[in-house]
Amino acid sequence: MPVLETLYTGALIERARRQQWDQPCPTTLLVCLPPDARTVTTIGPEVRARLSGTVRTATAALDGAHFPVWATPNRIEQTLLVGLPSNPDRREPVSCAGGPVGLLDLRTTAQRVVRVAADDHEKWSRSVEGTGPAEPWWCFLDRHHADPDGYPLHRALAEFAAQPRTAAMLRHDATTAPTDQFGGNSYGPGLSALQTGAATYADYVAGVVTYGGGLLTLGGDLIVPSWTDVLVEQSLPERIAYHQQAQTYLATIDPRTVLVAVSCHR
């Protein structure tokens, strides 16, 4: 599997190939709205209005798969959760696009993710056994950005892939079913987290799953981890700082504040 196609997917592959690093990228932003009664019909335009000037609002859409619903909501809660299936099949995982932050149970989401991340870390440890630490992709990409002509993209990709630990991961992905591959995230900040230890990796994954690529506060401030929305291009310190900011902010606001997830291009 080509390195570029491991690090990037879809249109992002062409963006990288053409080295159009300033192009808008897909991301998921969390948007805070004041407590109020809303419907799916009215909340979409309200969210786009708040995001105006920040993202490409024409393609912004509520992300109904972002927030897992762990407990069966009662009738009142069903009206408050945004984008909840009208007749959810409780045998299958149910999710929604948002709702009052006090109802979203972000703590349980983090706890569930931690369990899965522990298994992923064990699988990764077996696949790279006997190799030394590797630099994540963003280190090589930063060198390319600093000197595009002297350090072209093809050289950055080749030197990144030549690291014994990275090479072991790439071999694993090339011979494994898609559902068991590490994926681009594990070659960026995820690689730094994996190398630090299972606990750090679990915290990192929980933060990515919970807080997405940015948070628009009630005051209109946009908190993001990096200038780039592409996860593999970000660093672990950037992600940790963003996760902590988002967690702190959401813990201090009125639990009736509505939090919604939006898929968009920034």
* DSSP letter, residue 202: H
The pLDDT tens digits for 168-203 are 999 999 998 988 899 888 999 999 999 999 999 999
Residue whose C-alpha is closest to residue 227's, from 27, 14, 3: 27
Q: Largest Cα–Cα distance in the chain? A: 62
- Calpha distance 140→146 (Å, rounded): 10
Please answer whether residues 243 and 207 qualify as being in contact, where contact means their C-beta atoms are separated by less than 8 angstroms. Answer: yes
* Stated pTM of the model: 0.93
- Calculate the CA 151 to chain-centre distance: 28
The pLDDT tens digits for 198-208 are 999 999 999 99
Give 31's strand partners.
216, 260
Give 240's strand partners.
none
Listed range (29-43, 123-137, 221-235, 243-257) with the worst mean pLDDT: 29-43
Please answer whether residues 236 and 192 qualify as being in contact, where contact means their C-beta atoms are separated by less than 8 angstroms. Answer: yes
Whether residue 148 is predicted with pLDDT greater than 90 in this model: the reply is yes
- Calpha distance 28→226 (Å, rounded): 14
Residues with Cβ within 8 Å of 190's Cβ and at least 6 positions away in sequence, in order, are: 136, 182, 201, 204, 205, 231
User: Where does residue 44 fall: left (phi above 0), alpha (psi -120 to 50 degrees), or beta otherwise?
Assistant: alpha
Pairing verdict, β 98-100 and 95-96: unpaired
Confidence band (pLDDT; 50, 70, 90) for 39?
Answer: confident
Confidence band (pLDDT; 50, 70, 90) for 1?
Answer: low
For 213, the 3-state DSSP assignment is coil
Confidence band (pLDDT; 50, 70, 90) for 90?
Answer: low
Q: Which residue has the higher pLDDT, 166 or 88?
A: 166
* DSSP letter, residue 218: T
Residues with Cβ within 8 Å of 194's Cβ and at least 6 positions away in sequence, in order, are: 121, 124, 186, 201
